[in-house]
Structure formats: C-alpha cells, structure tokens
Chain A
C-alpha cells in the first residue's frame, strides 16, 4: 500500500480502533472493580487508550531501515494501545488472568518478561508484558462496529518497570545516533536492580500479609457471617485491620465456627448491631462479631489489650449483660 492510501485508510478507521480500545479498557476496569480492587490504589497511573499519532504511524510503517513490513497496516499492531501500571508483580498476573478469561477477545501474548528472562538470562533490558487483543466476533460499541481482525496492544508493567521504560525507551532505544556503551551498561544495571526490587516488594507484601488471619481467611468468612446475621453488607476500615493485628494470636481455623455458635446463642445481638449501625463505625464491620465473642470468651485478654476508648467496650459489655468493672 502506498503512503497516501495508508493515511486515508487510517483516518477512516480511527474511530473503530478508538472504540475497540475503549471497550477493552472499560471491560478490564469493570472486572477489576468486581474483584474488589480500588482502581485509584491498584493502578498507579491512570489507564488511557492511546491512538498512535498519525505521523509516527506512517513513520514507523515506511521509514524504518531495520523493519521490513510487507503489509505495514496489518503488521503494526499498536495502532491503539492501553497501558496498565501496577505496583506488584502479582498484580500483573491478576490483569493477565482477566485478559485470558474473557470471552470477548482472542488473546496473543507477544511479549513477556518471564519468557525473555528464560531466553536471555544474562540480559537486563526493557521489561514489560504485551498482549494483542482481537475481538472474537464482530461487536458493536459506542455506535461503532468493530471487525474481528482489529488489534489493540495492552501493556502491563510494574511501577518500577515503567520508570525504567520512561527513562530509557525514547532516549535509548529510539535514539538515532549510537549511544555510548557506558550508558547502556548503566541502564542494564538499573534494570537488574529494578528486577531485584520488584521481587523484594513481592516478598515484603507476602511477609506483611502472612499470618493466621490471612491464612484462615477469617476476614472473608466473618464478612459472610455478618451479612447473614445482620442482613446488611459489612464494610472494612483500618480499625478492623488494627484490631485483627492486635488479637492475631486468637485467630485459628475454628474461630469462625466458634463465633457462629456464639451468635446462635445470642440472636438478639442482631437488633443491637442494626440499631447502632449508623452511629458507630465499629458496628458496620464484621470485626464486631469477633469483639462480642471475645467479651464472652476472652474477656481478660480483651480488656488488657483493647486499643481504643473503654467506653465503647462498656457499651458492648452492657449489650451482653457482662460486668467489666473490677
């Protein structure tokens, strides 16, 4: 195809590519929200679809000495791209899973740093994950029909990988003149450190999350119990996490069952929790069930290590008819 025809085709098809990118973006972000992710926290850079600039597309198609496209229009797959930047390596896997599980598109992994590491173990360079997504069937979005061959490139990176890429990509890999070896070496060193740090980040998170509460999924199970018992969906605030940390040693695999037996003995607590729901944030969280259980079964321990105001405990003790005065 000649350059002018190429440009014509591109301009006419831009809305299709844009619609496809936006569809993918919306689908992925909705699925992340369904999985309980707070997008503002999970994604470190706001994700947007970027249509390739007309000029750089044409430039890439016709003016690259190292690339020999026989059909540049079809072969250039990043005419529309979306980039997701997350904190941890495990977060990349989460997005990967969403991409793999969707019924809307065919998915083609065209780059993965794990594979690159295996192929070139001694090389420290740009790391990222790239997928090309094409609709399985023709679909319609925002008033535009998207044919099955339409590609969109989705990139997923950690924040550190992104920092490295931002620094090096345009400067080094697209530089016209040769870059000094010392620069390459420094860039390689920084990538090696970034890869190391990404692994450390993962270890830190693992270490911080490790503990009986996580292991036995106590928070999740109690949330379910709370919803059944009180008939309202529970919230989770920092105060819950703080309390769970304080009383972590009491977490065991039988704890949710023990709490359920306790609730069966005191069904009237349901009304108490409902009546206090709007006035006290602790009653909105499933940890309140644990606290009531502790008041009955681990009273001395609770009284000794209670981190908040005592008046709150007194109120809860009154609900159960328990004296906590010495």
Chain B
C-alpha cells in the first residue's frame, strides 16, 4: 500500500480525558463542527499522517479481530459512506470507545482527531484516527516595537513532529476485493503507528489502543513475515562485499536483533540503520522491498525461526567450549569419543575428537 495522493476532506475533533483518581470515567467533550484547515495547516497535518503511516515509518499492519456490529471496525465501515451529520455523530462514538478502552488511570487524555478522505492512484477511501496527547510548550513571539524575540508559554500544544506523542490508526480500503464479502479484513487494510508497541514490554501497554479500542490484533502472518525477513537479510549479508569476519558479526547482529531486542516489532529500516553504512542501507531497503516484505515495520513472531536462532553448546571440563547454531551443529560438527593417552592409573583417558567442517575466520 502506497500512501500517495493523500486527500483529506473531513476532519472532526473531540477531547477525551484521563480517568479520575478513583478510576471513574470522565466523559469526552464533543465538537459538532468540522475542522477547516488553511492550506499550510492541511499540508502539515498530512505530513504528520505520512510520518506516522508512510513508507519507512514505524507503523505496523494489523488485522481486524473484533468483527461484531458494535465494534469499531464495523462502525468505521459504515461511517465512510455517511453524510456529514451522521459522520459527526459516529465520530463521537469513536471518542467514547477510546475513553472506555483507556481503563488504566495512568493513560493520559488528549484530542481525538477523526478524518476521512481518499488515497492512492485509484482514489480509494480511507479513515484515520489520531489520538494526540496535549502538552505545554512555548511559542516564539517578535515584539512589534523592539523587534526582540521572546517566548510565550502555551498551555496546550499538540501534534508537533515528535511522533511519540500521538498514536495513529488508518483504515484503508483495499484496491481489489470482492464487493459482496462480509469479511472486513478483505475490504480494509489497517495500519497502526504507536510508539508504545515497540518499547520493552510495550505490547501489553499498547493493547488498550490496538486491541480494546481498535478491535485489531497482530496479523496471523507475523511468523511468516518474520521468517522471510530473517532469510532475506541473511541472503543480503551473505552477498555483501565484506570480509567473512564482518559477515559473521552481522549474522550475530541479526540474531541479537531478533532474539534479544525487546521491541515487539521489526523494522528493516531500523536494523539497517543500526548495522549498515549509509550506501548499504539504501541498497538493503530496496532489496527488502523487492523481496515483497513490508516497507514499514511489522510485528515480530519467532515461531518459525526459533530453531535457527538457538545455540547449541558443548562444554568440556577444561573450560573449552564449542557453540554453534542448532541447525548447523548437526551438519558441520562431528563429535567422536576416542581413547587418549594413558593416565597415571594406567587406563586410557577419555578424549573427544571434534571435526569442524569449516575454516577459521576469526581468532582472538
């Protein structure tokens, strides 16, 4: 899905609030008028949306799990075709749903922006939801008389470029689907951009947004995509014009990135940015896209590659250790028990003959 040709024709906002200290709900405040942006305000808003959901962003694709008529995905499916009056009413339903989903007292309130329009060469429909946190900030002022600059405190600012402070969800009408289908997943493609998803243990914290509120879940295909990512990246590293030692380091980096990194999402952009030089990063991004992998982030699921990532280790009493990835161990290492020199007791010692079907690339 390419987020080109983005055109937004309806925007409406409501305000939602953090729960009270006792956990009770504070009702959201409704707007009845649509927001009208000037052209530069609209350009900036579109740029926030593209930053959050576009190619190279941290957005992940999700699938619709809650398909009932009272759930959000069904509500959105109906909304896109509604007239302005009904759209406005439905948008407040969305704000109410989010208020309900924010069960933990620690989750802040903010402004909910609901917007719809078209995207893509064929001008397909889409609907977006942004939950933007409100923070204080400063505004630059220039004195009319002295021309001196000063800072004015602004109590409530939102939607600055820092995309840690807003969550975005986009429901995009797919370009091809059976019009008679009842399966919402076949009609809609969902992208969610939430910084929380990628932090340590963030999955649980982010659940209120993508699961309780949006009615979505991690795609079933995550394991497949993760495996494809692993294989494509391994192939790329193997073909790189660098020393074998460097390749070993990069393979280790890939394993670490998948196994140890606490983020629940994988981003090829992120991996490339950490481990490759600039020119290689660009080549890697193109390669990954050519392999059919997503150009945004995607959710991590190691189910299919667990065995590849495991390490098999054999230790000897003398602190000699041999480690190798599990699947290579069987093929590359031959271990045989042999009889060694005679010990003091006159018995042959138990030795082990190890044959490694490979050459040395690195010694320390």
Contacts and interface: CB of A to CB of B under 8 A. Distances in A.
Interface of A: 266-268, 296-301, 304, 314-315, 317-325
Contacts of B279: 301
B313 to A, nearest CB: 38
Contact of A299 (B43, B47, B56, B119): B56
Contact of B6 (A300, A304, A318, A323): A318
A321 B163 contact: no
Contacts of A267: 121
A157 B99 CA distance: 83
Given A267-B121, A300-B278, A321 B4 contact: yes
A268 B4 contact: yes
A137 B27 CA distance: 96
Nearest to B54: A323
B263 to A, nearest CB: 15
Interface in B258-310: 273, 278-279, 281-282, 285-286
Contacts of B55: 296, 320-323
Nearest to A319: B4
Nearest to A314: B47
Interface in B1-18: 2-6
B46 interface: yes
Contact of B278 (A266, A301, A321): A301
A222 to B, nearest CB: 20
B57 interface: yes
Given A318-B46, A321-B6, A300 B282 contact: yes
26 contacts: A266-B4, A267-B121, A268-B5, A297-B285, A300-B273, A300-B278, A300-B281, A301-B278, A301-B279, A304-B278, A314-B47, A315-B43, A317-B54, A319-B4, A320-B4, A320-B54, A321-B4, A321-B6, A321-B50, A322-B3, A322-B50, A323-B56, A325-B51, A325-B57, A325-B161, A325-B163
Contacts of B119: 321
B282 A297 contact: yes
Contacts of A323: 50-57
A297 B57 CA distance: 15
A68 B148 CA distance: 85
A319 B43 CA distance: 11
Contacts of A318: 6, 43, 46-47, 50
Contacts of A297: 282, 285-286
Contacts of B5: 268
The 10 closest A-B pairs by CB, nearest first: A321-B3, A323-B57, A323-B54, A325-B51, A322-B55, A321-B4, A298-B282, A300-B281, A321-B54, A323-B51
Contacts of B4: 266, 268, 319-321
Interface string B109-130: 0000000000101000000000
A296 B290 CA distance: 12
A294 B5 CA distance: 19
Nearest to B280: A300
Given A301-B279, A317-B54, A322-B54, 10 more contacts: A296-B55, A315-B43, A315-B47, A318-B6, A320-B54, A321-B50, A323-B53, A323-B56, A325-B57, A325-B163
Contacts of A268: 4-5, 121
Nearest to A298: B282
A300 to B, nearest CB: 5
Interface in B111-159: 119, 121
A321 B54 CA distance: 5
Contacts of B43: 315, 318
A298 B281 CA distance: 8
B328 to A, nearest CB: 33
A268 B161 CA distance: 27
B6 A299 contact: no
A317 B56 CA distance: 11
Interface string B200-223: 000000000000000000000000
B198 to A, nearest CB: 13
B100 to A, nearest CB: 30
Contacts of A304: 278
Nearest to B48: A325
Interface string B44-67: 001100111111110000000000
A249 to B, nearest CB: 9
Nearest to B52: A323
Contact of B282 (A301, A315, A317, A320): A301
B189 to A, nearest CB: 13
Contacts of B285: 297, 299-300
A296 B278 CA distance: 14
B153 to A, nearest CB: 26
B63 to A, nearest CB: 21
Nearest to B279: A301
Nearest to B5: A268
Contact of B56 (A266, A301, A324): A324
Contacts of B286: 297
Please indicate which of the listed interface residues B50, B57, B286 has the most CB atoms of chain A within 10 Å of its own CB: B50
A61 B207 CA distance: 104
